[in-house]
Amino acid sequence: MMDKKSILFVDDEQMVLDGLRRALRSMRKSVDMAFATGGREALEILAEHPFDIIVCDMRMPGMDGAQLLQKVKKLYPATIRIILTGQADDSATKRAIHVAHQFLMKPCDPENLKIILKRACLLHQLMTHPLLKRTVSGIDHLPSLPDSYVEIQQVLNDPCSSVQDVANVVEKDIAMSSKLLQLVNSAFFGHFNEVKSPAKAVHLLGIETVKSLVLALKVFSDFKGSKISDNFLKSLWNHSVETALFTKEIIKTMGANKRDEENAFVSGLLHDIGKLVLAANIPDLYRKAIDLAKLYQLELRKAEFKVFKASHAEVGGYLLGIWGIPGDVVEAVTFHHRSHQYPGSPFTIAAAVACADRISHELDVERCIGICPVLDEKMFGSTEMVEKIGEWRQLCNGLKEQEHG
């Protein structure tokens, strides 16, 4: 059973806070709530009693939401930080990219807000679980966010920046440029004319996709030469790219918006990052988990649980949370093997990653360690949804054939 969580709401308008108090009354049995009318008051409350989650408005006089969350990130790093904003593209909101786990647009539907808060509570419960902390404490070092990714983020924070500015960051790293061009020219991405410049690649793929690929490419390259075999790295990379593309296509069939499509892609790309962290830092124990999965024909995550009391999904989510990757992605990575336990609509990005992961393994069973991940049909919510898996298999198989065609 989940421990009672605590949430601090911050807004300079008392009427907004009163409205939140009324709208969330039904959560009082499971959540302790406090309300502050500005950044200074919020910090005073936090000094007396750290909170699990903070939800604050972006535009506040004196100390705005980005400034407040910057201080919260430094003083209370375990607190999940959510920002409410009415302006998705303004410069103030861009400043919050590095400090907020999740952005919510105002006005936010109360029922949707409840679901998001329940998810945040569940994520916090998992991330602060003693067993996961014990596993992470056995890791020599967690990798840091790649400099190139941070630099792209800084470029995007500049309202005067352009696609060419992003391309300039990529071009500075020759190995990165080469890998990106190799990817954009693969049949998977469906471009029929050869792309020869990083700038053209950025234009064709879109900034968010490129940003995701830069992050994943740097993470994978940082593990080269470690205790992970090149075959393991290559297999995991191919599976990750395939899962990213499959996840994006599956989400598109559900009528997802552009933001969800982008989050689906990066979630699929990073869904197995926890395997890298475990294999590189605790190689002997990870080999034991692999051997267990093969010997007893287990899903790898179940073998990981037997050895570490946590799986690659939770470890990956933990790392992405530390990096400040968007909350939707952190949640999808963390819960992609248990998306049916996820509050809200049965079919989420986490469920799409689960489906894409399973289909990718089915299409290349030799790449799967142990048995393929099992899909729990509870994630679909209805028979009609269950039937969609056949449609998605055909869709993904077509993409796979296109890759090898």
pLDDT of the residue at 292? 96
Note whether residue 377 is domain-resident. yes
Element (H, E) at 286: helix 283-296
Note whether residue 239 is domain-resident. yes
Can you spell out the DSSP letters for 45-73?
A: HHHHS--SEEEEES--SSS-HHHHHHHHH
Looking at residue 14, what DSSP letter applies? H
- Specify whether 155 is located in the same domain as 66: no
Contact 248, 265 (CB under 8 A): yes
For residues 150 and 368, the model is more confident at 368
- Specify whether 271 is located in the same domain as 344: yes
Determine the 3-state secondary structure of 233 from DSSP.
helix
Looking at residue 31, what DSSP letter applies? E
Q: How many residues are given for the chain? A: 405
Element (H, E) at 361: helix 349-362
- Specify whether 279 is located in the same domain as 323: yes
* Domain boundary pick from 74, 96, 128: 128
Can you spell out the DSSP letters for 113-163?
A: HHHHHHHHHHHHHHHT-HHHHHHHHTSS-PPPPPHHHHHHHHHHHSTT--H
* Secondary-structure breakdown of the chain: helix, strand, coil percentages, each rounded to the nearest 5: 65, 5, 30
Determine the 3-state secondary structure of 15 from DSSP.
helix
Which CATH number goes with the domain that contains 159?
1.10.3210.10
pLDDT of the residue at 381? 65
* Domain total in the chain: 2
Note whether residue 142 is domain-resident. no
pLDDT of the residue at 287? 93
Element (H, E) at 85: strand 80-85
- Specify whether 217 is located in the same domain as 75: no
* Domain boundary pick from 128, 162, 195: 128
pLDDT over 90 at 115, yes or no = no
Which band of pLDDT confidence, cut at 50, 70 and 90, is reported for residue 43? very high
- Specify whether 10 is located in the same domain as 159: no
Note whether residue 133 is domain-resident. no
Note whether residue 139 is domain-resident. no
- Specify whether 301 is located in the same domain as 342: yes
- Specify whether 52 is located in the same domain as 165: no
pLDDT in tens, 275-296: 998 888 888 999 999 999 999 9
Pick from 175-184, 222-231, 249-258: least confident: 222-231
pLDDT in tens, 173-218: 888 888 888 888 876 676 557 888 888 888 888 888 888 888 888 8
Highest mean pLDDT among 191-205, 260-274, 312-326: 260-274
Q: What is the mean pLDDT of residues 145-156?
A: 79
pLDDT in tens, 79-106: 888 888 876 555 666 677 667 777 777 7
- Specify whether 191 is located in the same domain as 255: yes
- Specify whether 75 is located in the same domain as 119: yes
107 preceded by a cis bond (ω within 30 of 0): yes
- Specify whether 282 is located in the same domain as 327: yes
* Domain boundary pick from 128, 155, 182: 128
- Specify whether 196 is located in the same domain as 257: yes
State the average pLDDT for the chain. 84
Residue 58's alpha-carbon distances to 70, 88, 92, 93, in angstroms, are 12, 10, 8, 7
Note whether residue 104 is domain-resident. yes
Q: What is the mean pLDDT of residues 144-156?
A: 78
Which band of pLDDT confidence, cut at 50, 70 and 90, is reported for residue 1? very low
**243 lies in which domain range?**
147-404
pLDDT of the residue at 137? 65
Residues 6+ apart with CB under 8 A from 233: 220, 223, 224, 276
Note whether residue 265 is domain-resident. yes
pLDDT of the residue at 21? 92
Backbone angles phi, psi at 30, to 5 degrees: -105, -15
Highest mean pLDDT among 200-214, 240-254, 376-390: 240-254
Nearest to 297 by CA among 376, 369, 360: 369
Note whether residue 138 is domain-resident. no
Which CATH number goes with the domain that contains 120?
3.40.50.2300
- Specify whether 272 is located in the same domain as 353: yes
